[in-house]
Amino acid sequence: MMLTEAVIRPARPEDEPALYGICLQTANAGADATALYSDPDYPGQRFVIPYVRFAPRFAFVLESGGQVMGYVVAAPDSEVFERALARQWWPALREQYRDRVAEAPLDDKVLAAIRHPTAPSPALTRRWPAHLHINLLPPAQKGGWGRKLIETELDALRQAGIAGVHLGVSLQNEQVCGFYQRLGFEHVLRGNAIYMAQRL
């Protein structure tokens, strides 16, 4: 069933349980990853909750009938954002998960990112300092809601004077690149993911 009525609004702390759920249900290259993580919070701890906590001005949700159906989040300056996480986010998670071992196929990816976070690539951040993540539950994946969420985010970044933004697309989800191209993104780098970007 396609979503027909919804509103886009700033994310709030009380949205976090829904955001964890959406991230899990879309973390397998856009498909449900529930069976791929032993802890349902793992993907959200990396890909959405830090943005709500540390860049709330750039965190938006799609709400329909009182239910959060999707989100877009961004870090306006990827390097500054990662430094903040290094001080205030990853250490607490390292302590929380210090005895954890991988039990499901994708656990290692999150646990490794928490224990050994990597710095953003200067090849991206020099020209496109911001980066974003977007995820929508299946009922919201049609009807133009993804476009509206991205446009809301791009407007917020422009209003903040950000010069450019990039995003990463899973190598297993390359078919989504056309969606981003229609929104003005271009392919700029290919490695562990497909990186697309645009100047603002």
Among 3.30.450.90, 3.10.129.10, 3.40.630.30, 3.40.50.970, name the CATH number for the domain at 7-161: 3.40.630.30
**Confidence band for 172, pLDDT divided at 50, 70 and 90:** confident
pLDDT of residue 160: 98
pLDDT of residue 97: 98
CA 105 to chain centre: 20
Q: Domains of the chain: which residue ranges?
A: 7-161
The arrangement of strands across the sheet holding 186-190 comes to: 7-10, 59-64, 67-75, 130-136, 164-169, 194-199, 186-190
CA nearest 22: which of 132, 124, 141?
Answer: 141
**Distance (Å, rounded) from C-alpha 148 to C-alpha 163?**
20
pLDDT of residue 1: 64
Predicted TM-score (pTM) of the model is 0.95
Residue 51 host element (H or E): helix 49-54
pLDDT of residue 113: 96
Average pLDDT over residues 95-113: 97
**For the segment 35-51, what is each residue's pLDDT rounded down to a tens digit?**
999 999 999 999 999 99
pLDDT of residue 173: 87
